[in-house]
Amino acid sequence: MRLLQRYGLDVPAFRRIHGELDAAVSEAYGWPNDLPDEAILQRLVALNRERAADERKGRVQWLRPEFQVSRDVRAPPKQFEAELVEGEEKIVKPSFPTTPADQVTTIRALLAATGKPIRAGELARQFKQGKRVENRVAELLQIMAAIGQAQTENGSRYFAAR
């Protein structure tokens, strides 16, 4: 009742609108307007069975047939021209060096190229092995900072020594 009042409807107006809706649905199905509920239900169940049988046969009936395209009619594909855009090249990450000397040299070069403080994890992600070498990268950064090959901000970020 409150819902009707919220939209400014009274019960007689609601019944009138409901009746108009019922009449429109009956007209859409091509059924008489005064069918009892039981007959409406029987017709809907029969219609549902028909549609299900059609679908099993691969036939779909649309509510708006003008949009239905027969599977037998194959329209030629539309040709269009598009501007060719070169894709970005996939960045191939290098492998983490195997020898300690190469590891230090590579990390020092990456620190210099970065030009800003960086965490060990961020540096490790620049290699194919990523997370697997993070502890080794952190260890080397600590050693490099201790011998003056790198500088640190509170031991969490590292940058190239000047």
- The predicted-structure confidence for 131-140, as pLDDT tens digits, reads as follows 999 999 999 9
Q: Is there a single domain that holds both residue 11 and residue 61?
A: yes
Q: Among 12, 44, 66, where does a domain finish?
A: 66
Percent of the chain with pLDDT over 90: 18
For residue 21, the enclosing domain spans 2-66
Nearest to 156 by CA among 106, 124, 121, 107: 121
- Exposed, middle or buried: residue 127 (CB in 10 Å: 0-12, 13-18, 19+)? buried
pTM, two decimals, is 0.45
Retrieve residue 69's tokens: 């395209």
Which CATH number do you get for residue 141? 1.10.10
58 within domain boundaries: yes
| pLDDT classification of 65: cutoffs 50, 70, 90 | low
Strands (E), the chain: 150-153, 157-160
State residue 156's pLDDT score: 83
Alpha-helix residue ranges (DSSP H) falling in 30-126: 37-56, 100-114, 120-124
Q: Is there a single domain that holds both residue 110 and residue 156?
A: yes
Give the range among 32-41, 126-135, 138-147 with minimum mean pLDDT: 32-41
82 within domain boundaries: no
- Residue 111: CB atoms within 10 A of its CB come to 22
Q: What is the mean pLDDT of residues 75-83?
A: 64
State residue 12's pLDDT score: 78
86 within domain boundaries: no
85 within domain boundaries: no
Give me the number of domains the chain comprises.
2
pLDDT at 7 over 70: no
13 within domain boundaries: yes
Contact predicate 126/113, CB 8 Å: no
State residue 121's pLDDT score: 92
Q: Which is more confidently placed, 72 or 98?
A: 98
